[in-house]
């Protein structure tokens, strides 16, 4: 038996070392608590997990009652800017998720409800991709935490272990940690960051490192992206692209509305001004109007003064905070 155990320990040594490395380095920032998990992070982090941690850590002390929901495209909205449009009693938390869908928002809304917290104000940032996403997106940086998804903890942590066992990731992570130099093979597993993101430990807002880069060298930043073809020609976009309405989507939107009704939430649904300039198809807009009331739905999609300049975007997916501020000014001035 002793022989068997010793040999097993030796045989599984590589796996044991990987586990020890993960326990020590915590690349996904899921083992230990951090004031700012983005500090020196070179890996895509799970926004839902980060927001949940900030929420649970501060909810009793700060008494959050205003929430920004959406995918990473909601990150242009900042809590402090939003609070200016809300009554004085509002304390906001950014409760988004990477690759978030309507399912993710519904689970978060229900989670807040379950904890017995107030949902007095809500800003829901939506777009076509988000509306048709009606399931738990199970990549390690998008999977919903078990407290919200009600799925098993082991399934959740297994995702991180699987991602951590990826050889390309492991090599890239160790290489980058030791030498600090980005190499081509690290593409898709390690974030190529010149400036790290920063997280707000009280509101869970994230401030992109790209923002710092733009402040320092705006021309250099945008020229590099133009050269790479990131800001593609929007005339080539398929104008007939439609996001089909599904039964699941309707059901999940209604479940969100039900909680809002129960909490008498003062909410706004904002359709994002996206770089592709495609207006959200009418079926989706009508559905939102029908469920949430047209007086609460604001459509900023399509070709507008906001979506025209490329400097309103970090890249082809995320609009910048000054755009979000204009959107919020427009929304709240009309209410």
Partner 1 sequence: MLFNSFEFALFLPIVFILYWFVTNKNLKLQNLLIVIASYIFYGWWDWRFLSLIVFSSIIDYSVGLGLKSQQNNAKRKLLLICSILVNIGFLGFFKYYNFFVDSFVDAFSFFGQTISSSSLNIILPVGISFYTFQTLSYSIDVYRRKLEPTKNIIAFFAFVSFFPQLVAGPIERATNLLPQFYKERKFDYDNAIDGMRQILWGLFKKIVIADNCALWANRIFDGSADYSGSTLFLGVIFFAFQIYGDFSGYSDIAIGTSRLFGFNLMRNFAFPYFSRDIAEFWRRWHISLSTWFRDYVYIPLGGSKVGNIAKVRNTFIIFVVSGFWHGANWTFIVWGFINALYFLPLLLFKKNRINTDQVAENKLLPSFKEFLQMGTTFFITLIAWVFFRAENIQHAFSYLAGIFSKSLFSMPERHPKDVIILLVLFVVVEWIQRDKQHALQIDTIKIPRFLRWSLYYGIIMVIHLMGGTQQEFIYFQF
Q: Report, in Å, the least distance between residue 3 CB and partner 1.
A: 6
**Cβ nearer to partner 1, comparing 19 with 291:** 19
Quick one: which of 280, 288, 277, 272 has its CA closest to 324? 272
Q: Give every strand in the sheet of 121-126, ordered side by side.
A: 92-94, 66-69, 121-126, 266-271, 297-299
Q: Report, in Å, the least distance between residue 154 CB and partner 1.
A: 5
Q: Report, in Å, the least distance between residue 126 CB and partner 1.
A: 30
Q: Report, in Å, the least distance between residue 49 CB and partner 1.
A: 18
Q: Which two tokens stand for residue 276?
A: 């592709």
What is the DSSP track for 31-94?
Answer: SS--S-TTTT--S---HHHHHHHHHHHHHHHH---EEEESSGGGTTS-HHHHHTTS-TT--EEE
| CA 140 from centre of chain | 13
Binding positions for partner 1, rule: CB under 8 A: 1, 3-4, 8, 11, 14, 152, 154, 157-158, 161-162, 165, 167
**Cβ nearer to partner 1, comparing 4 with 179:** 4
Query: For the chain, give me the number of helices (H) and strands (E)?
Result: 13, 7
Q: Report, in Å, the least distance between residue 202 CB and partner 1.
A: 34
Q: Report, in Å, the least distance between residue 158 CB and partner 1.
A: 4
Cα distance between residue 55 and residue 52, in whole Å: 5
**Cβ nearer to partner 1, comparing 4 with 305:** 4
Quick one: which of 86, 92, 33 has its CA closest to 63? 92
Quick one: which of 173, 193, 189, 184 has its CA closest to 27? 173
**Cβ nearer to partner 1, comparing 56 with 165:** 165
Cα distance between residue 153 and residue 8, in whole Å: 27
**Cβ nearer to partner 1, comparing 11 with 185:** 11
**Cβ nearer to partner 1, comparing 157 with 207:** 157
Cα distance between residue 270 and residue 263, in whole Å: 20
Q: Report, in Å, the least distance between residue 34 CB and partner 1.
A: 24
Q: Which two tokens stand for residue 143?
A: 């999977």
Quick one: which of 82, 85, 56, 60 has its CA closest to 70? 82
Q: Report, in Å, the least distance between residue 334 CB and partner 1.
A: 47
The residues near 98 (Cβ < 8 Å, ≥ 6 apart) are 44, 45, 46, 47, 48, 71, 72, 141, 142
**Cβ nearer to partner 1, comparing 10 with 282:** 10
**Cβ nearer to partner 1, comparing 157 with 195:** 157
3-state secondary structure of 142: coil
**Cβ nearer to partner 1, comparing 157 with 196:** 157
Q: E-strand spans in 128-236?
A: 198-199, 206-207
Q: Report, in Å, the least distance between residue 1 CB and partner 1.
A: 5
Quick one: which of 284, 276, 282, 283 has its CA closest to 238? 276
């Amino acid at each position: 038996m002793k022989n068997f155990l010793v040999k097993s320990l030796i045989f599984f040594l590589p796996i044991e070392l990987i586990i020890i490395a993960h326990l020590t380095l915590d690349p996904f920032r899921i083992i230990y608590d951090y004031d700012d998990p983005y500090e020196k992070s070179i890996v895509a982090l799970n926004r839902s997990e980060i927001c949940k941690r900030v929420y649970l850590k501060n909810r009793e002390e700060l008494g959050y009652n205003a929430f920004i929901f959406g995918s990473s495209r909601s990150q242009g909205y900042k809590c402090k800017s939003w609070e200016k449009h809300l009554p004085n009693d509002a304390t906001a938390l950014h409760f988004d998720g990477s690759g978030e869908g309507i399912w993710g928002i519904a689970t978060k809304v229900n989670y807040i409800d379950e904890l017995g917290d107030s949902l007095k104000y809500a800003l829901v940032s939506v777009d076509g991709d988000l509306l048709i996403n009606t399931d738990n997106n199970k990549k390690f940086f998008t999977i919903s935490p078990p407290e919200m998804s009600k799925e098993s903890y082991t399934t959740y942590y297994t995702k991180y272990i699987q991602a951590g066992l990826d050889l390309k990731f492991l090599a890239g992570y160790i290489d980058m940690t030791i030498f600090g130099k980005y190499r081509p093979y690290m593409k898709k597993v390690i974030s190529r960051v010149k400036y790290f993101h920063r997280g707000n430990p009280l509101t869970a807002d994230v401030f992109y490192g790209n923002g710092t880069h733009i402040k320092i060298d705006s021309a250099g930043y945008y020229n590099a992206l133009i050269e790479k073809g990131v800001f593609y020609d929007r005339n080539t976009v398929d104008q007939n692209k439609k996001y089909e309405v599904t039964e699941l989507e309707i059901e999940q939107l209604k479940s969100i509305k039900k909680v809002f009704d129960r909490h008498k939430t003062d909410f706004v649904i904002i359709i994002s001004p996206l770089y592709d300039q495609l207006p959200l198809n009418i079926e989706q807009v009508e559905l939102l109007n029908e469920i949430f009331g047209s007086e609460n739905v604001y459509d900023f999609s399509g070709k507008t003064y906001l979506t025209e300049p490329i400097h309103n975007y970090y890249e082809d997916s995320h609009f910048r905070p000054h755009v979000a501020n204009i959107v919020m000014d427009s929304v709240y001035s009309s209410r």
